[in-house]
A and B are shown apart, each in its own frame.
Chain A
Amino acid sequence: MKQAYVGVAILFLVGLLTSGMFLLLSHLASAYRPTKVKAMPYESGINPLGDTRERYSVKFYIVAMLFIVFDIETIFFIPWAVIFRDLGLFGLIEMFIFIFVLGVGLAYAWKKGALEWD
């Protein structure tokens, strides 16, 4: 079973090597002569307004949180689907209870307008 991870390790090493080579080669090939104008952040050609640490709207947080919750729900579907045939009706009912509880959450989010942007 663990022999299957040799491929994962090779992929990981190739990824590390590739990104490392990008950094090394661009470091070796480039001429580093910074000026004040060059070091400025690029903002479509105009002078930057403020800095990059802008505060984001809290709406992004709701979207991210809802995504996480339903992402975790999906994770539970995978083992359920694998043994679905063995579980039969019993498995169907228990998964429906699970989905129902989360459906209540989705209905609540919908009712409260959390799915709307404005």
Chain B
Amino acid sequence: MPALIATGLRKRYDRITALEGVELTVAEGEVRGLLGPNGAGKTTLLRVILGLVGADAGSILLLGEQAGPERAVPPGVAGFVEEPSFYPYLSGRANLEVLAEYDEGGARERIEEALSLVELTGRAQDRVGGYSSGMRQRLGIAAALLRAPRLLLLDEPTTGLDPAGVRDVGRLLRRLSGEGVAVLLSSHQIGEVQDLCDSYTVLSRGRIVWDGTAAQMRAQAPASSFCLHTSDDGAALTLAAERPDLAAAQAHVEQPGGLTVSGDQDSLDAFVVALGRAGVAVRSLELAADPLEAMFFALTGEAQSNVGSGESSVP
């Protein structure tokens, strides 16, 4: 039985539709990425799943139990929404002790292990008020681990973490999923989670616009796109238009101009050589979006950070 089944979820705030017809399933041992730009509805969906907000329609089953604002989160379900929050006047350990009081089972016995797993043992006696954002994030993960989770719901868990912290969280989640823990991981950057996730659900404006496995996404993803700066962007655009294996768009918004070029590696090599022969100097060529990011942007209708709104597709 899947750890999480959400069916037909709808949530509106006044005239704003936060969620509409959301269906979501997370199986045991699966790490599912919940993707979407800011305001897509990821956090609202997590709030609804955790019972912080009531859905206008739909149902949620967490580990086989009906969930909602009137009910307690079932044992074995853990997670956090937005940045984890704690009592600043208490130490990290005391915060976990307070949270363990709310929990059934042997949460108290897991405090030291959880602190050790997130490498906070040395700072556990310090008041949380003095913690950095990354340390609070680690404490949030520790707090979730106290519940011996079988379903983890994490809202951008790597926010504020240094690269080593991101790596450690990734390892931890991989280990947990290997033990059968289902993980739902929200992010607005697919690059952060693509090494972790087995599957993705992409949200845009409260609706699911794509749902499938990581393999399916890679198969459907477009070619990589690159940002190209030349000595003569107009000539470069004309040359790109003559090559059917390339797609190019001229960017205007981000200074200092340049082109966005999509294509496989061989086509791109040939294009660069052609530019040289035509007397157009290549000043820089950078990866703008990898295939998954490109797909994410395409699905969510979001412009890439270095691509303007006045794009013209070539050909």
A-B complex is real: no
